Structure 1
Amino acid sequence: MDLTEKSFAEGPKLDGIKGVMNSSGEGKWTVETELELQAAAPVIAMSLFMRYRSQEDDTFHGKVVSALRNQFGGHEVVKK
C-alpha cells in the first residue's frame, strides 16, 4: 500500500505516464518452458499477455501496474 501511495503522490490520474509495461523476455521464456513441460502457470501467462496488450492500449490499470513495477523493481516508466 505504501508503494501505491507513492505512485499516486504526483497525481491520482497518473497523467504523466503511459500504461506501458515493458517485458525483459523472462516471462515469455517461462511461458514457453511451462508449455514444453505441460505445466500450468496461468497467472504468469496472463501477466505476459497484459504486457503485450499494454503496448497497444493506454489504460488506467496499465498506468497503475507500470507505476508499481517502477516502485518495487525499478522498471522503466514510459513518460507522456
Structure 2
Amino acid sequence: MIESALMDNIHEELAKDTQLTQFNQKVHASGEAKWMVGEALQEEIPTPVISLSLMKSNASLTDQPFSNQVLSAMRYNFGGHKEY
C-alpha cells in the first residue's frame, strides 16, 4: 500500500468538515516555491512537479473550484498555512 502524508492531511480536514467551509478557494504560493522554481530555471534544472504546483496555486487566484479548498486545507494541515 502506498501512503501519503499530504493525503492524510486532506483526510483529516475533510473528516472535520466535508465542505471545508473554513477554507476559501484561493491558494497563495509560498515564497519558497517561487524561489526554487526561479533558481531551477536559471540552472536549467527540470522541476515539473514543483513548477506545476506553483502554477496551480497561481491559477487558484482566479479560478473558484472546490479543489482549491481541498488544496488550501491540505496546506493548512501540513504547515499551518492560512489563506487570506
Task: Specify if TM > 0.5.
Answer: yes
Report 1:1-80 matches (<5 A).
1-78=7-84
Choose between structure 1 and 2: higher helix proportion.
Answer: 2
Which 5+ residue runs of structure 1 have no aligned equivalent? none
- Identical aligned residues as a percent: 35
Which residue type is aligned with residue 9 of structure 1? A
Q: Which contiguous aligned blocks of 4+ residues in structure 1 show a shift greater than 3 angstroms?
A: none
Provide TM-score, normalisation by structure 1.
0.81
Aligned-residue CA RMSD in angstroms? 1.7
Which residue type is aligned with residue 68 of structure 1? M
Provide TM-score, normalisation by structure 2.
0.78
Which 5+ residue runs of structure 2 have no aligned equivalent? 1-6
Aligned residues: 78
